[in-house]
Structure 1
Amino acid sequence: MLHRSGRLAAEFSVLPGLFGALAHGPDAMADLGRVGRLLARVDPDEIRHHHPDATPLTVTVSGHGTLDVLTGPLTAELARHGIPLRAVLGDHDSWRRDLQDTSSPLYAKDTDLSLIVLDSAHVLDELPLPWRVSDAAEAIGAKLKLITRLVEAYVAEASGTLVLNTLPLLTTQLRQLVDHRSRTELSVLWREFNTGLLRLALDHPRVHVVDLEPLVAESGPVRDTRLAVYTKEHLGSELLGRYAREVAHLARAVRGRTKKVLVVDLDNTLWDGILGDDGPDGIALSGTYRGEAFAAFQRVVKQLGSQGVLLAVCSKNDQEPVERVLADHPDMVLRPEDFVAVTANWRPKDGNLRDIAARLNLGIDSLVFADDSPFECGLVASGVPEVAVVRLDEEPALHIDRLLADGWFDTRELTEADRQRAGQYRADAGRRELLDTAATMEEYLQALDVRVTVAAVTEPDIPRISQITLRTNQFNLTTRRLQPDDVRRLLDSPRHLVLAVRSQDRFGDNGVVGAVFAECTDDGLRIDNVLLSCRVFARGIEQAALGALLAHARTAGATAAWASYRPTAKNHKVRDFYPSLGFETVAEGADGVLDFRHDLTQLPPVPPHVTLDATFDS
């Protein structure tokens, strides 16, 4: 209906919910491919005109076979995450030329992802006739060397992320060898080739390799043999649909849209039964046919929590019995210390989710909500559409598959700060208690004993600094996303300052909570961006860090500092950050961009409750 009425661009914000409902239906890949083809006809710039924060993602697609079928599912999967697609398709079998030619679209500065879709024909089409395993070994080795060389050239010259994939080996290819020993040798060679491709992603942060093997296990046949012969579609539409989903998960991480919190229901979600009706002894987590499935689900939830995903409970129950079960039930895998928030009451869940987000000082779109009730899932989907909803049902054996299907928590690289995140949020309970007992905010801050360290970023800090730029949306003055290589390039520039901001207080060490990017220019210091984790808002950390930088600039001989603010849907709270530190507004653009100047005569003082330690490279 939206397509027929010409309202797809205007109503783009409702598509994530609509496409999300299709994504787990019985014909999900076919349905998403169909609606994606309709959406692909819409100019992505028209979508952005109606939705300024829906910045199109430019994706180039190149390969060996026919790949037109990829556009539909890729458009739909990106739309599920609020990202319009601008696709640039290469010519048939142009992958090598596109990677070699630095003037090709793959190397354009506005290209975000460059997809090189590989298939077994890349290797086997080059074999002589007849061929032996030794011929395959030679071809496989040469192809891996070629791809490695082209990847290294891309990483050196391009600014986007290169996406490769492993190659499925088909039975019709393997069975051309009639002896089992030769088949085994070829299988070993093939796996070593795929391992070599996967290692490219370990060696180069801006290279990502989609492993097709688990996707093939889910999707069935790799291809339709007839289409492979007649139209050169070497990968089938079902497999390409699942590949598109993996690419969309990567795109979400690149755009800083990784989810941060998993909120789970309890009754028939974490355990079998209704606590209010069955009592603590009546719910099952192990020892029963269904209970084992719930225990397995809890283990997966705990595994996610160990990697920085914050866990919370939102249940229609009474608080005290819930806390008792979490603490004392002998079969519980998850315990109170695994959760940063436990909300059990009889209020509507959409409101409770808003409260949880506020308590954690996170945007509501940071949450993923998993529940077995169709009513509750529908209520949340309509009441807080920003929340990703995982719709479980009465079959607990499928809970794990449904929770993991959309990769909501996928990130480019896990940092030590991720592993410590849950403990840091739990420490906030002590801070809230201190705040509740303090007579004034000044008294609270003084008692908190905030200590801030500002220092140049070092190599071990790079993944965390990149992650801050990718995931921080509220306190982010320009919302420029940086991959690790981008941070490293700034570090290598003698004109740039890249600073890590750390904080600790009486309740513990918060680690790296912010970053400052600046450049020395002919007219003074240009502050490119300032970022701060939402965990540590309103403690004077940002004022202390910027005050230290401005003092350093004046000492180094600068006569002025310049900065800008670029508005987004989420950073409006920091619009007045620079003026609060004595910056003067010197220009305002039609798009809301503000330019500021500080004459460095009267510097902002370090807040009296903050102990500051700032060091700068000369």
Structure 2
Amino acid sequence: MVPPHDADAPQQPVSPDTEFRDLNRSGRLVSDYHRLPGILSRMEDAEIRRSAPQLSRIDPDEVRRAHPDIPAVRIAVTGHSTLSALPGLLTAELARHGLLADTHLSDFDSYVFDLLTPDSAFYSARPDLALCVLDPTLVFDEVPVPWRVDDVQAVLDAKLDLLDQLVSRFTSHSDATLVLNTLPLPRRFTAQLLDHRSRARLGARWRTANARLLELSDRHPSVVVIDLDPLLAEGVPAADDRLGTYTSTHLSPELTAAYAREAGHLARAVSGRARKVLAVDLDGTLWGGILGDDGVEGIEVGDGLRGAAFAAFQRAVKQLGSQGVLLAAVSKNDPEPVAEALTGHPGMVLAEKDFVRVSANWRPKHDNLIHVAEDLNLGLDSFVFVDDSPFERGLVRRELPGVAVVDIGAEPALHTASLLRDGWFDQIELSNEDGQRTARYREELDRKDFLATFSSLQDYLEELHVQVRLSEAEDKDVPRLSQLSQRTNQFNVTTVRLSPADVRSRMAAEDTRVLVIRSADRFGDNGVVGAVFLDCGTDEWHIENFLLSCRVFSRGIEQACVSRLLTHAMASGARAVTGAYRPTAKNGKVAEFYPGQGFSVSAEDGVWTRFRHDLTVIAPPPGHITLTTDFGKHV
């Protein structure tokens, strides 16, 4: 069935390069900063590189004043070579994701001083991301002439020992995520060895050194190492010999831009803006052909060259889903043949159970995306939409600008690269909860269907049999707690983002405690759904942050946990418990959280509202919740 012509279909868009140049010429890059994600996301890589110098001149403070709701990410950059092009590229990449880059660039070849000296400007920038950009001249500048493989090995060992010391120093004095990278090995060095056996030994030892670099993130949770080899394997040149010789720029402009793209993905992750839902079209996207015309037996997937390409794309989608990305199908089709195709076609890799929601109907796709977002209780800025139809992509872009739209064409062999190039779902670290996310969201949809059978919310809650456990966090909880702080936007009273290292430091500190909230009910185990970060170093305990997953809203869990926490504080000798709320564009629903639990306003400064509970009257936990607590020996 062919959809009728839509008179409101989006018109042929102006090229993004033209849009950008118009903003720049008219001096509206700051005032129209909110338009940059839509413009930059449609640009080719070369166009983004051309835009970077103009973007580097943007004053972050001016953008903050004009757009106070745009999240800013502080970035400090250091390294061994000339990196003057990187700040502009970072500004472009972050703007593409709706973020503001506030970048400090260190002096040339100052990375040792920067990482070693806690009172350096590098530390003083208080970065969220600290980028230490490494290049091969770090090693080859120090080998003798002539040189042998053993000479290179000696310098490699010395540099890796130095980097290990610098990493330990930096991570012990800063909460930033420190980003390193592997070292490319350009042919201009290997070709100086005339015998292939020596070249092989050099390659083996260089790769061993890069493996040591990559393993730094295993020993230091706040360290990320960007592996440049996959970028080089895609044809990105490692170096530009003229720039290296005349300007000491030892990574090529293309590789620097690709590095900035990867850093942009990390910035999105640490700012809590990683996407959560992948919504995919079916006809022409997950399989070839038109299901309504060709029938289940006639679609292309699995068999034949094109069928194999569609199956490969499905494997990539399923791989993402296995790591916590919620999959939704949004298709203009009748539901029965879609269900038959997903369950009965022998070449299908994805099954109906892999999707948290399959929306097969003839409504506009942007309407279906809205309904899926409502069902999942997630914002549309959590969605990535993939469709082979330019019409559908343009319509979603126009109607739902918060949705990330991935452009794919008619060639299925290129679908996977198009989906993965922007790292929409990248995280610093996954937790044990991620692999179970789809099943838990499906259970949540079952809960909503169950709710529809009751005439009152209270009756529903009574029959839901909610069980909650509030207990001291353990080491195994760290990845999930960091993830909650980074990805939870609605029930997050301060929106302070924490890396795994930040969580561990709070768990280890003498006066700061981390409590984890778990829940379950008649439909299953929800796992870790929230956290309380608590400072109990004085007789006035302070709740640094309270987080709760959107999956478990409106069940009384937060009231139960606060009630038991207040009771425990009073029994432990505290005379009051305080908390604070900092408003953001997304956490308005918790503005009245503390007053609703009996706290009174103690101070306001235009940004923070501070609350205090004197522990004289503590509301009991809701009666429908079975609550157990284990505050541990510390609290």
Structure-1-length-normalised TM-score: 0.97
* Partner in structure 2 of residue 9 of structure 1: 30
Q: Does 1:373 align with 2:381?
A: no
1:390-433: CA deviations, max 9, x gaps?
11111111000001010011111111100111111111232122
* Aligned pairs (5 A) from 1:92-491: 92-108=108-124, 110-491=126-507
User: Does structure 2 retain, via aligned residues, the 8 Å contact 1:107–1:159?
Assistant: no
- For the aligned residues, what is the CA RMSD? 1.3
SS at structure 1 position matched to 2:285: coil
SS at structure 2 position matched to 1:3: helix
User: Does structure 1 retain, via aligned residues, the 8 Å contact 2:106–2:122?
Assistant: no
**1:6 deviation in Å?**
1.9
Q: Does 1:611 align with 2:632?
A: no
Match of 1:515 among 531, 545, 549: 531
State the one-letter code of the partner of 1:573: K
**1:219 deviation in Å?**
3.8
**1:523 deviation in Å?**
5.0
Query: How far apart are the structure 1 equivalents of 2:594 and 2:310?
Result: 50
Query: How far apart are the structure 1 equivalents of 2:124 and 2:215?
Result: 25
**1:588 deviation in Å?**
2.8
Alignment gaps of 5+ in structure 2: 1-21
1:346-391: CA deviations, max 9, x gaps?
1111121111011011111111110001111111111111111111
SS at structure 2 position matched to 1:60: strand
SS at structure 2 position matched to 1:259: coil
User: Does structure 2 retain, via aligned residues, the 8 Å contact 1:66–1:92?
Assistant: yes
How many residue pairs match? The answer is 612
SS at structure 2 position matched to 1:2: helix
SS at structure 2 position matched to 1:59: strand
**1:36 deviation in Å?**
2.2
User: Does structure 1 retain, via aligned residues, the 8 Å contact 2:388–2:410?
Assistant: yes
* Aligned pairs (5 A) from 1:70-81: 70-81=86-97
* Partner in structure 1 of residue 65 of structure 2: 49
* Partner in structure 1 of residue 7 of structure 2: none
* Aligned pairs (5 A) from 1:552-567: 552-567=568-583
**More off after superposition, 564-573 vs 175-184:** 175-184
**More off after superposition, 98-107 vs 248-257:** 98-107
SS at structure 1 position matched to 2:49: helix
SS at structure 2 position matched to 1:159: coil
Query: How far apart are the structure 2 equivalents of 1:309 and 1:520?
Result: 36
Structure-2-length-normalised TM-score: 0.95
Query: How far apart are the structure 2 equivalents of 1:461 and 1:57?
Result: 26
Query: How far apart are the structure 2 equivalents of 1:65 and 1:472?
Result: 38
State the one-letter code of the partner of 2:96: R
User: Does structure 1 retain, via aligned residues, the 8 Å contact 2:466–2:624?
Assistant: yes
User: Does structure 2 retain, via aligned residues, the 8 Å contact 1:60–1:105?
Assistant: no
User: Does structure 2 retain, via aligned residues, the 8 Å contact 1:497–1:517?
Assistant: yes
User: Does structure 2 retain, via aligned residues, the 8 Å contact 1:227–1:233?
Assistant: yes
State the one-letter code of the partner of 1:9: V
* Partner in structure 2 of residue 586 of structure 1: 602
**1:582 deviation in Å?**
1.1
Query: How far apart are the structure 2 equivalents of 1:73 and 1:565?
Result: 34
Query: How far apart are the structure 2 equivalents of 1:579 and 1:127?
Result: 66
User: Does structure 2 retain, via aligned residues, the 8 Å contact 1:106–1:158?
Assistant: no
SS at structure 2 position matched to 1:172: helix
Query: How far apart are the structure 1 equivalents of 2:200 and 2:409?
Result: 43
**More off after superposition, 428-437 vs 471-480:** 428-437
Query: How far apart are the structure 2 equivalents of 1:326 and 1:43?
Result: 51
State the one-letter code of the partner of 1:4: R
Match of 2:82 among 54, 66, 82: 66
1:413-458: CA deviations, max 9, x gaps?
1111001111111112321221111121111111100000000111
Query: How far apart are the structure 1 equivalents of 2:366 and 2:626?
Result: 40
* Partner in structure 2 of residue 535 of structure 1: 551
**More off after superposition, 404-413 vs 125-134:** 125-134
Query: How far apart are the structure 2 equivalents of 1:355 and 1:220?
Result: 41
Query: How far apart are the structure 2 equivalents of 1:493 and 1:69?
Result: 40
Query: How far apart are the structure 2 equivalents of 1:353 and 1:465?
Result: 29
State the one-letter code of the partner of 2:31: A
User: Does structure 2 retain, via aligned residues, the 8 Å contact 1:34–1:72?
Assistant: no
* Partner in structure 2 of residue 501 of structure 1: 517
Query: How far apart are the structure 2 equivalents of 1:216 and 1:123?
Result: 19
**1:109 deviation in Å?**
6.1
User: Does structure 2 retain, via aligned residues, the 8 Å contact 1:107–1:160?
Assistant: no
**More off after superposition, 264-273 vs 493-502:** 493-502
SS at structure 2 position matched to 1:21: coil
Query: How far apart are the structure 2 equivalents of 1:175 and 1:392?
Result: 39
User: Does structure 2 retain, via aligned residues, the 8 Å contact 1:40–1:85?
Assistant: no
**1:286 deviation in Å?**
2.2
**1:521 deviation in Å?**
4.6
Query: How far apart are the structure 1 equivalents of 2:55 and 2:148?
Result: 47
1:169-223: CA deviations, max 9, x gaps?
1111011111122111111110111111111111111111111111112243211
Match of 2:41 among 20, 24, 36: 20
Give every structure 1 segment of 4 or more consecutive aligned residues whose post-TM-superposition deviation is greater than 4 Å: none
User: Does structure 2 retain, via aligned residues, the 8 Å contact 1:219–1:239?
Assistant: no
Alignment gaps of 5+ in structure 1: none
